[in-house]
């Protein structure tokens, strides 16, 4: 098990809340009560970039929600409250961003610098929470399998366990 996965597992099992900073380039995994609520990696687009690039939000709508909720950690809530996105759609998009960023960060070598900052939360807010066990399955699947049009029933069931928060 690499050092990041080991530390992340310890933080999750002990129910910690805070931010695990990985490497010098700005990778961060945010936890609330041991569940991942957000993740960022330099090689992956952030949630705002994803929403704008997909056409779900205009740059102006994203900027308005960002300004309204950044300081209070409620950007996601502002997007849903204003009716710009449905809660479940936003949660799915957040899960995709978490999965991609965490997958990228888990590729860091064991020599990557890591530090945990207790209590630090992401400005987007907790829209979805992922249990580490399910995320590990998804990451393993990405590393060791090739995409095929007909996946097995077991592969379809091994998705990250997600809880949406309101």
Separation CA 2–CA 60 (nearest Å): 41
What average pLDDT does the structure give for the chain? 83
Given a cut of 50, whether residue 98 has pLDDT beyond it is yes
- What is the Rg, in whole angstroms, of the alpha carbon atoms belonging to the chain? 16
Report how far apart the first and last C-alpha atoms of the chain are (Å, whole number). Answer: 34
Residue 1 Cα to chain centre, angstroms: 21
Q: Which helix (H) or strand (E) holds 7?
A: helix 3-13
The helix-helix angle for 3-13 and 87-106 (nearest 10°) equals 140
Compute the CA torsion angle 140, 145, 150, 156 (nearest 10 deg). Answer: -10
Q: What is the largest CA-CA distance in the chain?
A: 45
Q: What is the pLDDT of residue 152?
A: 43
Give residue 66's pLDDT. 94
Task: Give the per-residue pLDDT at 139.
Answer: 52
Residue 109: band (very low, low, confident or very high) from pLDDT cuts 50, 70, 90? confident
Look at residue 138 in the predicted model and tell me its pLDDT.
Answer: 55
* Better-scored residue on pLDDT, 103 or 151: 103
Average pLDDT, integer, range 62-74: 93
pLDDT band for position 154 (cuts 50, 70, 90): very low
What are the tens digits of pLDDT across the range 15-50? 999 999 998 888 999 999 999 999 999 999 999 999
For the chain, what is the total number of helices (H) and then of strands (E)? 7, 6
Given a cut of 80, whether residue 140 has pLDDT beyond it is no
Q: What is the pLDDT of residue 17?
A: 96
pLDDT beyond 50 at 158: no
Contact 128, 164 (CB under 8 A): yes
Contact between residue 104 and residue 71 where contact means Cβ atoms under 8 Å apart: no
pTM assigned to the model:
0.79
Among residues of the chain, what percentage have pLDDT more than 70? 79
């Amino acid at each position: 098990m690499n050092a990041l996965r080991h530390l992340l597992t310890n933080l999750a099992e002990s129910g910690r809340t805070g931010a695990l900073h990985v490497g010098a380039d700005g990778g961060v995994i945010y936890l609330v009560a041991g569940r991942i609520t957000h993740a960022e990696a330099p090689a992956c687009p952030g949630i705002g970039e994803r929403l704008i690039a997909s056409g779900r939000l205009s740059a102006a709508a994203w900027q308005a929600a960002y300004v309204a909720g950044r300081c209070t950690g409620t950007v996601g809530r502002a997007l849903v409250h204003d009716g710009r996105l449905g809660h479940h759609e936003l949660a799915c998009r957040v899960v995709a961003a978490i999965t991609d960023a965490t997958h990228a960060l888990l590729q860091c070598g064991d020599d990557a610098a890591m530090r945990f900052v207790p209590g630090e939360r992401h400005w987007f807010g907790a829209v979805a929470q992922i249990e580490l066990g399910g995320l590990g399955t998804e990451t393993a699947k990405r590393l060791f399998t090739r995409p095929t049009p007909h996946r097995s029933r077991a592969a379809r069931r091994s998705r990250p366990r997600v809880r949406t928060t309101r």
